[in-house]
Amino acid sequence: MNYDVAIVGGGASGLACALTLVSSKGRGWEWAEGRRYVLFDTSGSDLRKALLNNVPGVPRGTTGAELLKRIKSQIESFGGVDFVKDRVVSVQRVEEVFELRTAGGKEFTAGNVVLSTGFHGFDIEGLNLEIVENPKSPKPGRVMVKHNGDYKVGEGLWVAGLLAGASSMFTAAAGIGVQVAINILSEWAGKPVVIHDVPGQG
Ligand SMILES: Cc1cc2nc3c(=O)[nH]c(=O)nc-3n(C[C@H](O)[C@H](O)[C@H](O)COP(=O)(O)OP(=O)(O)OC[C@H]3O[C@@H](n4cnc5c(N)ncnc54)[C@H](O)[C@@H]3O)c2cc1C
């Protein structure tokens, strides 16, 4: 199956990225229509361990697991993202596309890949990435992928969340997921894009 964007990791940043991408549909942007998105996840988000008292707009005492479920439902309300519960084991650039392989033996291709697998390590094969210590982590041994300062690692290849060097806070990680989605949409549009809605509109 060929996708426009494959998101690897469905925690705070990967889900935020997917939500922004799908919300670009139905706005009269011809370049956004018919896009296909896939999100791979192994259900290991750090958020599953969290009780949230400080996420803006999220009621105090919400569990991270509840919030993940809510964001996934929000994405599903737009449609257009295929969710795959499988570990991505390799990503390789082959000419214009990336080839992704999962532990379950499935193969996919995508024009863009967003790596949002958190900061506990990185073992996806096939990409020549510079993995360094995440300087924002209070604990040693946490990693990030070096990028160009705007979360791009190479043509069509992006990093988000803690793997992009965010501090381990929901909004910081999710914010980078949103920025990566906006960067991809802006490349497709050929100009800077934002997605704003107003009351009374669909
Ligand atoms: C105990 C605890 C409490 C916390 N409390 C708070 C809090 O109160 N407030 C706050 O703002 N933040 C809190 N956080 C931080 C917050 O959970 C993280 O900052 C956030 O989840 C990071 O988002 P992320 O997308 O970078 O990574 P994650 O949310 O960890 O998501 C990474 C995802 O990638 C998946 N994955 C990894 N490798 C692969 C692969 N090869 N293929 C497919 N999928 C893969 C994992 O299964 C996981 O679902 C807490 C964290 C912890 C651990």
Nearest residue (by CA) to ligand 1, atom 17, is 47
**How far apart, in whole angstroms, are the C-alpha atoms of residue 158 and residue 173?**
14
Confidence of residue 201 (pLDDT cuts 50, 70, 90): confident
- Provide mean pLDDT across the span 151-176: 98
pLDDT at 49 over 90: yes
Query: Probe ligand 1: pick from 119, 168, 180, max atoms within 8 Å of CB?
Result: 168
Distance 159 CA to ligand 1 centre (A): 14
Q: How far is CA 165 from CA 19, 25, 63, 96, in A?
A: 21, 29, 24, 27
Instruction: Check pocket membership of 65 for ligand 1, CB cut-off 6 A.
Output: no
Homologous superfamily (CATH) of 2-189 is FAD/NAD(P)-binding domain (3.50.50.60)
DSSP labels, 11-71: SHHHHHHHHHHHTTTTSS-GGGTT--EEEE--S--GGGG-EESSSTTSPTTEEHHHHHHHH
Q: Would you state the pLDDT for residue 126? A: 98
CB within 8 Å of 18: residues ≥ 6 apart = 7, 10, 37, 39, 75, 81, 177, 181
Residue 181, phi then psi, degrees to nearest 5: -60, -45
Distance 127 CA to ligand 1 centre (A): 22
CB within 8 Å of 30: residues ≥ 6 apart = none
Tokens of 188: 């497709």
Instruction: Check pocket membership of 102 for ligand 1, CB cut-off 6 A.
Output: no
Report the atom number in ligand 1 closest to the C-alpha of 54. 9
Report the atom number in ligand 1 closest to the C-alpha of 166. 26
Query: Probe ligand 1: pick from 131, 170, 180, max atoms within 8 Å of CB?
Result: 170
H-helix or E-strand spanning residue 74: helix 64-78
- Provide mean pLDDT across the span 101-111: 98
pLDDT at 202 over 90: no
Exposure b/e, 157-173, CB count within 10 A at least 16 = b: bbbbbbbbbbebebbbb
What pTM does this model have? 0.98
In single-letter form, the type of residue at position 101 comes to R
Domain limits of the chain?
A: 2-189
**How far apart, in whole angstroms, are the C-alpha atoms of residue 83 and residue 163?**
21
DSSP 125: B
- Provide mean pLDDT across the span 39-62: 98
3-state secondary structure of 35: coil
Distance 18 CA to ligand 1 centre (A): 15
